[in-house]
Chain A
Amino acid sequence: DVKVTQSSRYLVKRTGEKVFLECVQDMDHENMFWYRQDPGLGLRLIYFSYDVKMKEKGDIPEGYSVSREKKERFSLILESASTNQTSMYLCASSKIRDREYEQYFGPGTRLTVT
């Protein structure tokens, strides 16, 4: 089974702190993604990566950065956490197979910024 793990299920940080959310997948997937999910807004894409050291902005990249130094690991960084970044953060990965592919999601990290 594909496994996508996230470093924490729950995290509480203070405003202004630098926050690292880690995601690791064990299936040699090329693609990795970071989403945030908020009530009434659904899942929104923050950043994604097609390969090591490559990154692409999603719909809401402001206030975030990412790092992909190894194929299996994709980190989301909140440079200076703010209360409006309180949210559920979901990581996903996928492998390209012809024109079909399936994204596998981690369990999520519920981040609270106070």
Chain B
Amino acid sequence: KQEVTQIPAALSVPEGENLVLNCSFTDSAIYNLQWFRQDPGKGLTSLLLIQSSQREQTSGRLNASLDKSSGRSTLYIAASQPGDSATYLCAPLINKFYFGSGTKLNVKP
């Protein structure tokens, strides 16, 4: 069974800092990996999707990298803003998503 670990579990930073959220997974036979954002009381919002053949994807201030062979992905957030405060979930996909427990991010104004 796929095990997904996200580090750190929680992170509190002042506005403007660059951040790195880490994700590791045990089964590297994935189709792709997706990063989601979850706001309290809301559903999940897809942020970035990296196919297994890709090394990274970028969207605005977000950059996600994938090292499939070592079972790692990172989400880089540049110039963090208070609106980035949320829980970030990493989810590698085999026939279904396996989710980590997330990193709870708080960006202080």
Tell me whether A and B are bound partners. Answer: no
Q: Which residues on A are within 8 Å of B, measured CB to CB?
A: none
